[in-house]
Structure 1
């Protein structure tokens, strides 16, 4: 630490040492500067940034859509997809879509969504109960906490 120096004198000291004069803080009075190897400092910053673990992604929400009159085999395929998404740690939004006259009988969606929740109760918890949204009923499942 050299204290307060004239800019010209600081440049001469940096040149004699074959280093760079780098301004650290411009807002302070007098401005703060360091004598250092700027390329080496940049490399160290880049290396430190690369060594940090990647940031975790927020809870992803996967979307699985079913029709109100889904067949048993199609239901099993959709349930297997939901199970896989939950095993990966994602939340799953299960939607039962209605077409044309089906939206006149929304009560057929509730048992289907409850069946999904019951079939997956070993690995999932209901985060939001079945609710109507436009021309569909939606329920959100989250992975169960393993103890």
Structure 2
């Protein structure tokens, strides 16, 4: 294909190189798997520049989702828990996922199924308007973990 979009049909490599040289442009192979291979006469530097610009534009429109983490313990008081819930809502407002972790130390592990699940359900109830639960509370070693994401 020529620089102006016209098709030249099947041409030998030597003739194609000569046509590109006469126009002061490059001969670029578009499809190597075709039989015969498809080539195009174009300004390769300009083509690379435009591709790079397209990639940058696509990158600008792309949003990244971070995972924030909130940690607390089974003996965390009511006020502190409410404060952490406010932070979770703030993170969800920024379109971030939140990992809520309750860590059990020493003999506290005995209360993981009672106090732990109860606290996690309380948080889930407080967040039901602002978030969806991506992963319900689950024990991972000595911690109870729950993931929530923005609605």
Please indicate the TM-score interval, normalised by the length of the shorter structure: 0.7 to 0.9
Q: Are residues 128 and 9 of structure 1, via their aligned partners in 2, closer, same or farther at CA, if it must alter by over 3 Å?
A: closer
Query: Which structure features the higher share of helix residues?
Result: 2
Normalising by the residue count of structure 2, what TM-score does the alignment of the two structures yield? 0.78
Number of positions where the alignment pairs a residue of Structure 1 with one of Structure 2? 143
The answer on 1:32 being equivalent to 2:45 is no
- Report the CA distance between 1:98 and its aligned residue: 0.4
Runs (5+) with no aligned partner, structure 1: none
Corresponding residue of 2:3: none
Match of 1:114 among 117, 121, 145: 121
Corresponding residue of 2:27: 21
- Report the CA distance between 1:128 and its aligned residue: 3.6
Q: Distance in 1 between matches of 2:126 and 2:88?
A: 11
Q: Are residues 68 and 40 of structure 1, via their aligned partners in 2, closer, same or farther at CA, if it must alter by over 3 Å?
A: same
Normalising by the residue count of structure 1, what TM-score does the alignment of the two structures yield? 0.80
Runs (4+) of structure 1 exceeding 6 A deviation are none
Runs (5+) with no aligned partner, structure 2: 1-6
- Report the CA distance between 1:55 and its aligned residue: 2.6
Question: 1:68-115 CA deviation, whole Å, 9 max, x = no partner?
Answer: 111334323322211111222223222211000111222121222222
CA RMSD of aligned residues (A): 2.2
